[in-house]
């Protein structure tokens, strides 16, 4: 990607964003820099504070601390300007159930300053490109989840905003609809938009995002390119089933000592799971286990789940308690 030197400022620049609900610091000092013209992923488990962060960036919520700028415009003091630069597709469809798909788009178009015929034309274009022409005259109440999501995304694109927020765009969609949504998102960036999306899925961030911020408990725990992130956590995980549950502690210790990385907490007392940066190291673990006299029932090597990624990054281990620290995982 060629950088344009004259380009004024990044699409999103957030510094120390904070949102407090009651006593809970849902967003606890989030820094984000989203370069223009890219897909940026915010990856985190349910409840991490992704939606709250997006709502602050999209001027829906006032931050309790920190600042955020969209193309250099402050989200609080210049909210009206920011709203002219963004499109938001929230986690829950924000379209009107009782109106038809077309009526929704026409009304949003009119609110955005299009004339009556212009708004209709734009609505029809969008319905066409999101494969909703047939359903256009139907009440949104009768739409499927995937159709609703597409209509919601179409509504965010009426004014062709340079920055688009997508909050968990594929959660709850079936695999086929999900793949279509991915194509749509890639297409958006090809046509010149910047996209900030949140997701709970590692594979989604992997498939779409140029850079990711991993957030947990309202904090950015890792930031960088997807490749760098994957390299740092290992692309596979070692999955050991023990003969005896009583060996669990000892096995975890050995894994930690051998790999230098913590084992992941599992619900089954006979299983030990650990991220594996290098498949060769599996042998070292096996040798160490045999030496300690720990018997193994089964052994597999798998791709890591998001839980494992988190535990690796945050370093929260049953044996060594430590606060989550921001880890720079390198950049291109």
Partner 1 sequence: MSISRLERQALESRAISRRPSFGQTLHHTLMMAYRTLLRVRRTPEQWADVTFQPIVFTLMFTYIFGGAIAGNVQNYLPLIIPGLLVMTVVTTSIQTGVQLREDMDTGVFDRFKSLPIARIAPLAGALLADTVRYLIATVLTLAMGYLMGYRPEGGIAAVALAALLVIVSAWAVSWIFAFFGVVARTAASVQGLSMVILFPLTFLSNALVPAKTLPHILQIFVRFNPISHLVTAIRALANTGTVNGNLAVSLIGAAVIVLIFAPLTVRAYMRKA
Ligand X SMILES: Nc1ncnc2c1ncn2[C@@H]1O[C@H](COP(=O)(O)OP(=O)(O)O)[C@@H](O)[C@H]1O
49 binds ligand X (CB under 6 A): yes
Determine which residue in the list 193, 239, 258, 312 makes contact with partner 1, applying CB under 8 A: 193
Interaction with partner 1 in 33-72: which residues (CB under 8 A)?
A: 36-38, 55, 58-62, 71
26 binds Mg ion (CB under 5 A): no
The distance of closest approach from Cβ of residue 24 to ligand X in the complex, given in angstroms and rounded to an integer, is 7
DSSP H stretches of helix in 75-160: 79-83, 101-111, 116-129, 145-156
**Phi-psi group of 193: left, alpha or beta (phi > 0 → left; psi -120 to 50 → alpha; rest → beta):** beta
Interaction with Mg ion in 49-78: which residues (CB under 5 A)?
A: 50-51
Q: Any idea what DSSP says for residue 127?
A: H
Q: 50: helix, coil or strand?
A: helix
For 163, phi then psi, to 5°, come to -125, 130
Determine which residue in the list 11, 36, 48, 289 makes contact with ligand X, applying CB under 6 A: 48
23 binds ligand X (CB under 6 A): no
* ∠ CA 204-208-213, rounded to 5°: 75
Determine which residue in the list 18, 20, 189, 277 makes contact with partner 1, applying CB under 8 A: 189
The distance of closest approach from Cβ of residue 287 to ligand X in the complex, given in angstroms and rounded to an integer, is 41
Cβ–Cβ under 8 Å, residues 330 and 224 = yes
Calpha distance 322→200 (Å, rounded): 24
Element containing residue 20 per DSSP (H, E): strand 12-21
Beta pairing partners, 311: none
Closer CB to Mg ion, 197 or 264, in the complex: 197
47 binds, among partner 1, ligand X, Mg ion, none (CB under 5 to 8 A by kind): ligand X
Calpha distance 46→53 (Å, rounded): 13
Interaction with ligand X in 51-110: which residues (CB under 6 A)?
A: 51-52
- Which residues of the shown chain bind partner 1 in the complex (CB under 8 A)? 1-4, 6-8, 11, 36-38, 55, 58-62, 71, 78, 80-81, 83-88, 90, 92-99, 103, 107-108, 110-113, 139, 155, 160, 162, 189, 191-194
């Amino acid at each position: 990607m060629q950088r344009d030197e004259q380009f004024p400022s990044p699409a999103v620049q957030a510094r120390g964003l904070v949102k407090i609900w009651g006593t809970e610091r849902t967003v606890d000092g989030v820094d984000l820099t989203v370069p223009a013209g890219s897909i940026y992923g915010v990856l985190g488990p349910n409840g991490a504070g992704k939606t709250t962060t997006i709502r602050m960036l999209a001027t829906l919520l006032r931050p309790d601390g920190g600042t955020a700028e969209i193309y250099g415009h402050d989200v609080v003091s210049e909210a009206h300007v920011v709203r002219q630069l963004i499109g938001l597709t929230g986690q829950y469809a924000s379209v009107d159930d009782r109106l038809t798909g077309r009526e929704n788009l026409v009304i949003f178009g009119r609110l955005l300053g299009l004339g009556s015929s212009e708004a209709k034309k734009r609505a029809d274009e969008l319905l066409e490109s999101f494969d909703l022409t047939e359903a256009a005259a139907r009440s949104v109440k009768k739409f499927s989840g995937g159709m609703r999501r597409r209509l919601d995304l179409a509504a965010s694109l009426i004014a062709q905003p340079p920055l688009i927020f997508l909050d968990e765009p594929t959660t709850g969609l079936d695999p086929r609809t999900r793949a279509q949504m991915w194509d749509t998102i890639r297409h958006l960036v090809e046509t010149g938009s910047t996209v900030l999306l949140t997701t709970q899925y590692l594979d989604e961030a992997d498939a779409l995002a140029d850079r990711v911020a991993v957030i947990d408990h309202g904090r950015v725990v890792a930031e960088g390119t997807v490749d760098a992130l994957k390299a740092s956590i290992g692309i596979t995980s070692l999955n050991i089933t023990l003969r005896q549950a009583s060996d669990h502690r000892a096995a975890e210790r050995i894994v930690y000592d051998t790999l230098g990385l913590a084992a992941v907490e599992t619900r089954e007392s006979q299983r030990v799971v650990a991220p594996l940066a290098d498949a060769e190291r599996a042998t070292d673990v096996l040798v160490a286990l045999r030496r300690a006299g720990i018997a193994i029932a089964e052994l597999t090597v798998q791709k890591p789940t998001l839980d494992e990624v988190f535990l690796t990054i945050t370093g929260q281990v049953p044996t060594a308690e430590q606060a989550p620290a921001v880890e720079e995982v390198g950049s291109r």
